[in-house]
Amino acid sequence: MPRRFLDFFFFPVGFPLPLSDCAGGETNFVDRDVCINRLVPSPSAAAIKHLNPFRRTLPGRSSVGVSVLSVPGQLVDPDASLIDLRFDSGADLSLISEGYYRSLPTPPPLKKGFKLKLLQLTSSETRVLGYVNTKIYLVNSQGQRISLDVEAYVVTGMTVPVLLGEDFHENYSLTVQRKLGYPTTIKIGSLPHLFTAVSTSRSLEARLVTRRKDKTRQRTSIGQVLRAKETVTIPAFSTKKVTVDGDLGTDKSWLVERSLVHLEGGSYLLVPSSLFESSNPVIPVSNPTHLPRILRKGELLANADSPEDILSADTPDARL
């Protein structure tokens, strides 16, 4: 076996390394950190190289068209109908909608987990029912069927069946491989398994932020989700006032969080930050594209919170 291999694997931490492994000597020994410092060159300001992005966008529109990835697969039963399994690292936990969970012929048993605080809830009645341990089934790029373990919380009020959050991404060391002009793939760690993924719009429920209760992240109110109360057409390059629906109470002020509304066909609308009163639930919605866009009744638009709670909260969330 070569000596370099022995030097690397059999010298314990804190023991001096042979200088031959660091600087070419044969008899002297050096400290491990000194060796590393010699092997890694010091950065030089003159050597900075700028890398241009592969994707170009119009100024101020870098986030337009950004979406989550989905892969067709099954949950619980490998013979069940295919559904879109959404991969979204913006959610801390993996989630299953209650409606889809109840539709399963043999749903896995619910277990009680941590008490969770859900931000950006779909309504004041949204709640966590518990969690399940089950499997998802996918087909890799070679046509082989793969099963993966998943722990997911069952949530009421979700409009997407399954969302695989950051916990799932970390459990399997998922990486996304992108190349312009080629399909996007998801890779599992260093294993030779690739899954072709497609972009899909990030629903408002898919942006759920889920955590155990934490003093640094608590808000004094949950907030509300706003939906279009009626179908409206917004002309090209125009902004239109849209009446919204939600559990807004009476004599209350609401602060709307800016958001991007994805429509069918890849088009989009913009909702800027704004204030409104529950007695007049109207918010501006902009169409920055060159064609008229139809906003359907019931479409999810944005989140709204009490401005007093946001502006007075001493937390990282206390910002517009």
pLDDT tens digit sequence for 155-171 = 887 778 898 888 888 88
Q: How far apart are CA 245 and CA 22, in angstroms?
A: 68
Tens of pLDDT, residues 33-70: 555 555 556 666 567 776 666 666 667 655 555 567 88
Q: How far apart are CA 199 and CA 87, in angstroms?
A: 10
Is residue 299 classed as helix, strand or coil in its secondary structure? coil
DSSP symbol at 258: P
Q: What are the beta bridge partners of residue 95?
A: 153, 163
Give the chain's domains with CATH numbers. Answer: 69-200 (2.40.70.10), 224-312 (2.70.40.10)
Rounded mean pLDDT of 7-29?
Answer: 46
Query: What DSSP element (H or E) covers 36?
Result: helix 32-39
Phi/psi at 265 (nearest 5 deg)? 85, 5
Q: How far apart are CA 62 and CA 183, in angstroms?
A: 20
State the amino acid at position 73 in one-letter form. Answer: G
Tokens, residue 280: 């007049």
Higher pLDDT, 121 or 152: 152
Tokens, residue 290: 């060159």
Q: Give the model's confidence band at 119: pLDDT under 50 very low, under 70 low, under 90 confident, else very high.
A: very low
DSSP string, 202-245: --SGGG-EEEE--TTT--S---EEEEESS-EEE-TTEEEEEEEE
> Helices H, strands E: what count in the chain?
5, 23
DSSP symbol at 33: H
Which residues contact residue 83 at a Cβ distance below 8 angstroms, ignoring those fewer than 6 apart? 72, 73, 74, 75, 100, 161, 162
3-state secondary structure 76-115: CCCCCCCEEEEECCCCCCEEEEHHHHHHCCCCCCCECCCC
Q: What is the pLDDT of residue 120?
A: 42
Tens of pLDDT, residues 208-243: 444 433 433 444 344 578 889 999 999 988 999 999
The radius of gyration of the chain from alpha carbons, rounded to an integer in Å, stands at 25
pTM: 0.48
Q: Is 239 exposed, middle or buried (0-12, 13-18, 19+ CB in 10 A)?
A: middle
Q: What is the pLDDT of residue 183?
A: 79
Residue given tokens 């809830």 in the structure block: 121
Q: How far apart are CA 139 and CA 246, in angstroms?
A: 40
